[in-house]
A and B are shown apart, each in its own frame.
Chain A
Amino acid sequence: LRDPLLIKDLSYNKGRAAPDPAAQRLMTQSIPSDPAQSALSQLLDSYRPPTGRFDELLDEQGQLRAHWRPLMESLNGLPIQARQQAIQYSQTMVLDHDVTYQPQGVDSASRPWQFDLLPFVMANDEYNELSDGLSQRTQLLNAIVADCLGPQELLAQGLLPPAIVFGNNTFLPACHGTKPPGGKYLYLSGFDIARAPNGRWWVVRNRMSTPAGLGYALEARMLSSKCLPEVFEQSEVARVAQFFRTFSNSLVGLSGNDEPLNLILTAQHDGRDYFDHSFLGRYLGHSVVTGADLTVRDSRVFLKTTRGLQPVDMLVRRIDTGNCDPLEMSVDSLDGVPGLMQAVRAGRVAMANWPGAEIANDPSLNSFLPRLCEHLLGEELKLPSVASWWCGQPKEREFVLDNLDRLAIRRLDTINRIARDRSNQSNQVVGSQLDAPARDQLIQLIRQFPDEFVAQEPMQVSVAPSWNDQGQFVAAETTLRLYVTASQSEQNYYLMPGGLARAETHDPQSAESMRLPNAMNKDIWVNRLDDVASAAPTMIGPAVILRSDRNLASRTADNMFWLGAYLERAENAARLLRSLIQQTSGEAAYGQQVAALDRLAAVLVAQGQLSSRRARRLLAKGRQSFAFEIASIVFNQESADSLHQIVGNIERTADLVRERLSPDMWRLLERLAQPARVPKHALPDPVATLRHLNSQIDTMAAINGMISLNMTRADGWRFLSSGRSLERLQQSARLFNELTSRPADIEQGSLNLLLEVSDCAITYRTRYGAAPQFVPVADLILADDSNPRSLLSQVMQVRGHFNQMPHPNQTGIDREADKAMLRLESALRLLDPEQLDARNKQTGSRTYVSRLCRQAQSDKNIIIDRLTAVFFNHAGASRVSGQFGQPR
């Protein structure tokens, strides 16, 4: 039977090994004549799998494997341009979503994630087989963890060498004797698997600690389904949602609480893995917190929220066990929560995975698994590990030393790690790649510290098609990261029908790429068949747990508040600079008087955008050079308090509350933070400056629109909005004072500027139709509650938010803050603009204006102080209570 889709290109072996006879036979048989066939053949023109490896796409006869057929047929209908467009689209989305990763190494900066749109296809029966094998493996590892943290019978029976347990960096005495509800230590496990040339899957690594990459796997699925929508539909891909539902439900069951507070515990925000965690958090509806957000009282874990301390039921643990509790473990970081193990031991908090589960990662366990499986589960190990030799055993050690040149030698994560080299560098070497001295040194170390080494058979992993940047099919070495979650039924584990494939292509031309393979991440598609659906356990409860602000972490509230403030500060600065440019360059609008230069300079100095010395120098030079100075303020990236700096603050603060911001909002913030493009070799001119400021103001308007229209009116929004209003209050009061309180000069120019910066020029013109006068301008900007930018509106807004904020139960609404708001509101409501206009006879200043603006400033400070005291600061960070003296 001839396959109509027979398409293997047989010219690939030119200059390499001779094509295998089977393929040669086929070459003569299958010369496609049908245009559809020849299109497919063309499609794979550049796909040249090397010999000696399993080919995921084509079988030994060069025929397309059945499970790839739907994808390939569907892609065949897609013109090359459409394919390139889809790839382009996926790359843009990676940038838009700001999907980054941080390569291993201490100081490396985060980079955009490398994504290959072409998915890896897994056959349905293969999925079932892997599901069986990995479930069994999880069950086995769970039993091993249970024994190490419990009776340690495996040691007594000689089934597990003590060195593997006690020499392991992840064996922590503090976890010994703790027991999770239901005996499940592993709720979420990751496995790296690869296929050997004989077609069998091997497990390369167990990843039980904090299985990273689940967020990326979700992102990969989102990209592949969005960028190839028709192909996705036609390929009938099994959905991954069920997996996350199962995981979520198992967590609900874990805490035994109907409305549990489940959180994702991560390390301090340092960029690494943050995308991963926040994406997962958003998807599961769990807030992402750090150790500093939590505290332990009465042997319970609490989240420090704006409503006080809220008891926590369950933590999805994404930090290493060793960093969980500085009170009981020797730690270098403060990522954890002092007292956490007390709560764990008291059974007051559940954790997934259970502290201490990492011991199952150890590659030295591999060679013991077949025996342990038979002993613990009474069955044969279904899915083998990659062949491993742990040097802690004399026979194995000698074998490794005899075969050093062909084996991959790995340093284990022991406590010693040959006297504490915790770097990931040279974690794995192949003997043949070492020069003679390095080889001798390695042999010496293996002999001195045999427990710390394991050797593995280097694998010729299978190849699967990938797309290069031109959208051509190329053969790439592919390994899979698969995930298994516990399901609610007693023994069952459930394999995610998806995951992350990692494809490595080597460009033989480039020595660099031989050393550092070009690795891409890709989605895994499992063909949807009925039995996949039935393999999924039945679920109870809602599909997605909704997040409510019931538990807004204090730190998050604090950051939301300042995000609002910085956004307002940036907008104000941009508007002011824009108005100043318009006032100092070109011809002012007809009949419009411009403000005095010294007044403009004073405003900039007050805002911290210009030093007073520089201001004096500029004033001497005149209007034109002023315009250029503003351009340099806008584009200067160094000067503190410049627009650029404020935007930097926005970026940093937004990063800390990322899981609370919608993707659209995030994209706008990214746009705002993009550096201004300054034409090379040219001083920024007023026109370019104006263009840049306009675009910044547009972006901020879009952000503001999104805040006003799209954000849920929950506590997070209230804090953000209050931050914005209080900042606006401060900026407006300062500007008003600066431009109107001084002795009279070109008053109209100042008033024009004031109206423009306050975005009230149109309102004023439609109402009064005349050149601005102090009294109506003051009324509009200070006391008009129909003007959303007026001072009065800000106070009313903050007061409204404040009353609805989640006040800690014990204290109720803070009286001091309430008094300050009331005081300021009445002062503005009872404002007499005529009186405000009165000038001091001697100095010519408007004293009432200065007095009012000073009051606004001081009341604003009181309000912020009280907000901080009530909502943000009620629980500080933990620290060592004093290092106990060294025994001498």
Chain B
Amino acid sequence: MSKCRYKVQHSTSFSYGADVSLSQQLMRLTPRDTAHQSLQASTILLEPSADVRSTGTDYFGNTTTYASIQEPHRRLNIVASSTVEVAPPPSPVLTATTPWQMLAQTMRAPATSDGLSAVQYCYPSPHIDIPPSIAPLVEDLFVPDRPVLDAAMALTSRIYENFTYKGGVTDVHTPVSEVLANRQGVCQDFAHLQLACLRYLGLPARYVSGYLVTKPAPGQPKMVGSDESHAWISVWTPELGWVDFDPTNNMMPAQEHVVLGWGRDYSDVSPVNGFIVGGSGEHKLTVQVDVAPIPDRPVPA
């Protein structure tokens, strides 16, 4: 397999019934570089333009863009465009990874710097609650000495098989305990659920925010979660570093997943978070995501 290049466009537009006198937006819309993904170009356009704008790096290493629009406005458009190149990730031998309970044990007091940087993903977080009732979902999969990624893949499939994908039954604040009880939700819920399972065991696992290619390659089925923001998870092992799993599509992401950023859960990497003063009355929000492959340029003769 060769590298794929994508043009990612993520537009968010707000319209308000009355003037907004102050709007502050914190955006995480710049795709990250990973072991097999490289960012080639990225811009964020604001309209109206921001009076104060700054970029930074958050605690998790994601690029943040803070913008404050201090002139009265009734519409706000945020258009983030990027070009990324995704190389085929290595196919790890899942059964050759550390036994899960050994990894959990190591993470109680990690000695390596990689381990230290992964340890913050071992605990509950604002959107990852771990109810006692989660135990039955993992206990028979995570048997002693089972290689951690082998068990993680089994868990991915279990969530895919036992939970129904259904939009509109949950929102961004739905706790894991509710997803667990109702057995339905969308990609964010499944990602949160799987993280809760892994962290219940003390394993390092993080939330990945990103996109799926909008139109599948010829002959391939269209995946669930394209046209919108998508989310999946990643598990850390000392041998392989971070390895991704997508419980919504029961697969390990390859070249059709574009990574935007990561954190402990959705709340750390929400793509656009904003507060306004004013703007009463009708209030509209539209979001559009498009991830299109860029055809390979002909090689100059």
Is A885 a contact partner of B59 (Cβ separation < 8 A)? no
Contact flag A299-B52 (CB < 8 Å), given A327-B273, A884-B273: yes
Is A884 a contact partner of B271 (Cβ separation < 8 A)? yes
Cβ contacts under 8 Å, B66 to chain A: 342
Tell me, in angstroms, the Cα distance from A295 to B277 when the chains sit together.
Answer: 9
Residue A514 is within 8 A (CB to CB) of chain B in the complex = no
Residue A81 is within 8 A (CB to CB) of chain B in the complex = no
Chain A, residue nearest B109 (CB): A158
Chain A, residue nearest B188 (CB): A887
Tell me, in angstroms, the Cα distance from A283 to B126 when the chains sit together.
Answer: 37
Cβ contacts under 8 Å, A445 to chain B: 132
Is B277 a contact partner of A876 (Cβ separation < 8 A)? yes
Tell me, in angstroms, the Cα distance from A390 to B170 when the chains sit together.
Answer: 36
Contact flag A161-B186 (CB < 8 Å), given A295-B22, A875-B277: no
Is B52 a contact partner of A878 (Cβ separation < 8 A)? no
Instruction: Give the residues from 437 to 451 in chain A that come closer than 8 angstroms, CB to CB, to chain B.
Output: 444-445, 448-449, 451
Is B177 a contact partner of A419 (Cβ separation < 8 A)? yes
Cβ contacts under 8 Å, A886 to chain B: 170-172, 186, 188
B124 contacts which of A167, A177, A877, A884 (Cβ < 8 Å)? Answer: A167
Is A166 a contact partner of B225 (Cβ separation < 8 A)? no
Residue A162 is within 8 A (CB to CB) of chain B in the complex = yes
Chain A, residue nearest B224 (CB): A888
B283 contacts which of A297, A416, A420, A882 (Cβ < 8 Å)? Answer: A882
Tell me, in angstroms, the Cα distance from A883 to B287 when the chains sit together.
Answer: 11
The minimal Cβ–Cβ distance linking B188 to chain A, given in whole angstroms, is 5
Contact flag A330-B170 (CB < 8 Å), given A162-B120, A173-B60: no
Residue A34 is within 8 A (CB to CB) of chain B in the complex = no
Cβ contacts under 8 Å, A888 to chain B: 167, 186-188, 224-225, 228-230
B194-236 CB mask vs A (1 if < 8 Å, else 0) is 0000000000000001000000000000001100111100000
Chain A, residue nearest B189 (CB): A886
Chain A, residue nearest B124 (CB): A416
Tell me, in angstroms, the Cα distance from A299 to B12 when the chains sit together.
Answer: 24
Is A416 a contact partner of B225 (Cβ separation < 8 A)? no
Contact flag A167-B123 (CB < 8 Å), given A158-B109, A881-B25, A888-B186: yes
Is B109 a contact partner of A161 (Cβ separation < 8 A)? yes
A174 contacts which of B22, B59, B111, B270 (Cβ < 8 Å)? Answer: B59
Residue B89 is within 8 A (CB to CB) of chain A in the complex = no
B274 contacts which of A162, A167, A296, A881 (Cβ < 8 Å)? Answer: A881
Cβ contacts under 8 Å, B224 to chain A: 888
Residue A686 is within 8 A (CB to CB) of chain B in the complex = no
B12-40 CB mask vs A (1 if < 8 Å, else 0) is 10100000111111100000000000000
Cβ contacts under 8 Å, A177 to chain B: 59
Cβ contacts under 8 Å, B111 to chain A: 158
Residue A376 is within 8 A (CB to CB) of chain B in the complex = no
Residue B96 is within 8 A (CB to CB) of chain A in the complex = no
Residue B131 is within 8 A (CB to CB) of chain A in the complex = yes
Q: Count chain B residues whose beta carbon lies closer than 8 angstroms to a beta carbon of A.
A: 77
Residue A156 is within 8 A (CB to CB) of chain B in the complex = yes
Is A162 a contact partner of B119 (Cβ separation < 8 A)? yes
Is B59 a contact partner of A173 (Cβ separation < 8 A)? yes
Chain B, residue nearest A392 (CB): B108
Residue B122 is within 8 A (CB to CB) of chain A in the complex = yes
Is A330 a contact partner of B126 (Cβ separation < 8 A)? yes
Contact flag A415-B123 (CB < 8 Å), given A338-B24, A887-B187: yes
A173 contacts which of B20, B109, B268, B270 (Cβ < 8 Å)? Answer: B268
Residue B135 is within 8 A (CB to CB) of chain A in the complex = yes
Main secondary structure on A side of the interface with B: loop
Is A418 a contact partner of B132 (Cβ separation < 8 A)? yes
Is B276 a contact partner of A878 (Cβ separation < 8 A)? yes
Cβ contacts under 8 Å, B229 to chain A: 885, 887-888
A861-883 CB mask vs B (1 if < 8 Å, else 0) is 00000000000000111111111
Cβ contacts under 8 Å, B123 to chain A: 162-163, 166-167, 415-416, 451
Tell me, in angstroms, the Cα distance from A251 to B22 when the chains sit together.
Answer: 30
A166 contacts which of B22, B23, B120, B170 (Cβ < 8 Å)? Answer: B120
Instruction: Give the residues from 267 to 293 in chain B that come closer than 8 angstroms, CB to CB, to chain A.
Output: 267-268, 270-279, 283-285, 287
The minimal Cβ–Cβ distance linking B67 to chain A, given in whole angstroms, is 10
Is B225 a contact partner of A887 (Cβ separation < 8 A)? yes
B285 contacts which of A161, A448, A883 (Cβ < 8 Å)? Answer: A883
B41-66 CB mask vs A (1 if < 8 Å, else 0) is 00000000001101010111000001
The minimal Cβ–Cβ distance linking B125 to chain A, given in whole angstroms, is 6
Tell me, in angstroms, the Cα distance from A328 to B64 when the chains sit together.
Answer: 11
Residues of A within 8 A of B (CB): 152, 155-156, 158, 161-163, 166-167, 173-174, 176-177, 295-299, 326-328, 330, 338-339, 342, 345, 414-416, 418-420, 444-445, 448-449, 451, 875-888
Interface contacts beyond A162-B120, A414-B124: sample of 9 additional A-B pairs, CB < 8 Å, sorted by A = A173-B60, A174-B59, A330-B267, A415-B126, A416-B124, A420-B129, A878-B22, A881-B276, A887-B230
Q: List 27 A–B pairs whose Cβ atoms lie within 8 Å, in order of A's numbering.
A: A156-B116, A162-B110, A162-B122, A177-B59, A297-B70, A299-B54, A327-B26, A339-B68, A415-B125, A416-B130, A418-B131, A444-B132, A449-B130, A449-B132, A876-B277, A878-B275, A879-B276, A879-B277, A880-B274, A881-B25, A885-B287, A886-B170, A886-B186, A886-B188, A887-B231, A888-B187, A888-B229
